[in-house]
Amino acid sequence: MKRYVIGLDYGTDSARGLLVDAVDGCELASAVAPYRRWGRGEYCDASKSQFRQHPSDYAEALDELLRSLRGQCPEAFAAVAAIAVDTTSSTPCLVDERMRPLALREEFADDPDAMFVLWKDHTAECEAARIDAACRESETCYSMFSGGHYSSEGYWSKVIHILNGNPRLAREACIAIEQCDYIPALLTGADSISSMRLSHCAAGSKSMWSERWGGYPPAEFFEPLSPAAARMSERLPRDNYTSDNIFGTVSKDMASRYGLPADVRVAVGIIDAHAGAIGAGIRERRMALNLGTSACHMAVVDPQRLGDRVIEGVFGQVDGSIIPSMTGFETGMSAFGDLYAWLRRVLMFAVDEIVCRSEALDDTAKIQLAEECRERMLARLGDEASKIRLDIDSPFATDWINGRRTPSPKDNMWCGIMGLRLGSGAADIYLALVEATAFATKAIVDHLSANGIEADEFVAIGGISRKSPLAMQMLSDVLGRRVDVAGCRESCALGAVILASVVGGFYDSVQKAQHVLCPPVERSYEPQMSMHGILMQRYARYRAAGDFTENTVNTYN
């Protein structure tokens, strides 16, 4: 009896897979596949905020995951009923008429513009500003469901940036597809836009698609921004599908290569953070905090209760996103773990540039020492920072090292660290950065609450929720609420499993599948109310510093 499903989660650094019994939720196999080229830093330039990923990384990760899952549990793998996929977004790539990424063609094999433009790539800030201006001048504000602002992390900003800056690619491109549409296409062998079912989550959240204006903005809107984008907008199908729908069935080649049944259903793709929220058990008044390299804070609301209200300053408000029967809200930070990783990178300078070049150690010892420092640094900083007793004058920081996403998105905002003295150390700076990410979360929660989107419960997922007790306790102290840690280590992949179980016919709604498949919380952090008062005084300084930074940015830009 076929009762097994697979969830595939394509994150920023690697892909993960889960093989699960859809009836009782038992996890039978799991696998992780890093992106090789990405891991070597190929096609990226952090100084330009350029982050690109090669489609071969995705295909190779898919192969590695499926072979590993099959090897761990071949009997269950041969009885899989459905597969669902989540990916980062907006992570688009120009493709030809056969839906083949242009980077897979020999003449564009090493062109970063022919690859997937990762969600955190900010090379399209100018294009985002032009789209914003066009939205303000238009009779219809096409950015209203992305908080009244269109980001450089959005689909059209990136696509227009590539099309206008690379005429060779513009001539060869048919459309640009999201990563969450590409992976299901790989699984099913879809080779035309007519054979694909595009993701509603991605279209509504990242591409200015809405029923209110009949789909994407019209070609006339895009024409002054990019004639090539205008033509592309007309090729994109008007219809898209929520993640509880079937994209197709696995191709004959996939079935024979991996020993899958020929009729395995593949679900429509979904954004990774949205899948993670599902895996965390998101529901109305229960907010999911996805804490990884970035942070996505998500909420769902009954659309009948919401009515026609549109919330300004959020990153996405889409009927049918996250949970198909609800209105989904996506907010968050463009850098969360990336902010901590920045400090580690700064502190590693002495190791990388001095110790590793020293003649006092052999090469093996240098490599081992550098890896140990890199691996243990944040944990040690956390240990030392937890011993510090904050007061009103302790160093503090703002968090916008990769721009501000929510509330009131602004891609060119800066991070600042203030209150430093000669006695300040690395742990003081680290604590200030951790506190800043908690303050940013409070700003988001307060903004949603002020607009009627309230939360009584908070559940955290992602690497930071498990790796950093300091960050989790700080979140609880700042919010003044209990924060739970989801019981599954791979909540995004679990969310994909839940969607696969619906597409496979085991449940008739995402909520019913959640009830069975979501495990209990693993750990809870209770607020230390003795700290809450001083933190709120410091939060006032954080907000004042943010206002100063924004005024300065506006003055010089």
Same domain, 164 and 26: yes
pLDDT surpassing 90 at residue 248: yes
Predicted pLDDT of residue 81: 98
178 forms beta bridges with 92
Is there a contact between 205 and 330 (Cβ–Cβ < 8 Å)? yes
pLDDT single digits (tens) 121-169: 999 999 999 999 999 999 999 999 998 999 999 999 999 999 999 999 9
Q: Does some domain include residue 422?
A: yes
Q: Does some domain include residue 514?
A: no
Could you tell me the pLDDT band of residue 75, with boundaries at 50, 70 and 90? Answer: very high
Retrieve residue 310's tokens: 């549109």
9 forms beta bridges with 16, 86
Domain containing 161 equals 4-280
Same domain, 44 and 144: yes
Q: Does some domain include residue 303?
A: no
**Residue at which a domain ends, from 248, 280, 312:** 280
Neighbour-count burial of 537, counting CB atoms closer than 10 A to its CB (0-12 exposed, 13-18 middle, 19+ buried): exposed
Predicted pLDDT of residue 2: 83
Q: How far apart are the first and last CA of the chain?
A: 63
Predicted pLDDT of residue 377: 97
Q: What single-letter DSSP state applies at residue 2?
A: -
pLDDT surpassing 80 at residue 557: no
φ, ψ dihedrals at 117, nearest 5°: -90, 105
| Mean pLDDT score across all residues of the chain | 96
Same domain, 363 and 259: no
Q: Does some domain include residue 332?
A: no
The C-alpha atoms of residue 329 and residue 318 are separated, in whole angstroms, by 7
Same domain, 204 and 111: yes
The C-alpha atoms of residue 460 and residue 472 are separated, in whole angstroms, by 9
pLDDT surpassing 80 at residue 556: no
pLDDT surpassing 70 at residue 196: yes
Q: Does some domain include residue 191?
A: yes
pTM of the predicted model as reported, rounded to 2 decimal places: 0.94
Same domain, 272 and 369: no
Give the CATH number for residue 97.
Answer: 3.30.420.40
pLDDT single digits (tens) 508-550: 999 999 999 999 999 999 999 999 999 999 999 999 999 999 9
The C-alpha atoms of residue 316 and residue 330 are separated, in whole angstroms, by 5
pLDDT surpassing 80 at residue 260: yes
Helix runs in 40-81, H state only: 55-72, 74-77
Same domain, 253 and 398: no
Report the pLDDT averaged over residues 314-340. Answer: 95
Could you tell me the pLDDT band of residue 70, with boundaries at 50, 70 and 90? Answer: very high
Predicted pLDDT of residue 239: 96
Q: Percentage of the chain surpassing pLDDT 90? A: 94
Same domain, 235 and 363: no
pLDDT surpassing 80 at residue 208: yes
Is there a contact between 143 and 131 (Cβ–Cβ < 8 Å)? yes
Q: Which residues contact 62 (CB under 8 A, 6 or more apart)?
A: 8, 15, 33, 183, 186, 187
Q: Does some domain include residue 500?
A: no
Report the pLDDT averaged over residues 380-403. Answer: 95
pLDDT single digits (tens) 5-20: 999 999 999 999 999 9
**Residue at which a domain ends, from 280, 307, 324:** 280
Q: Does some domain include residue 158?
A: yes
pLDDT surpassing 90 at residue 1: no
The C-alpha atoms of residue 185 and residue 175 are separated, in whole angstroms, by 14
pLDDT surpassing 80 at residue 460: yes
Query: For the chain, what is the domain count?
Result: 2
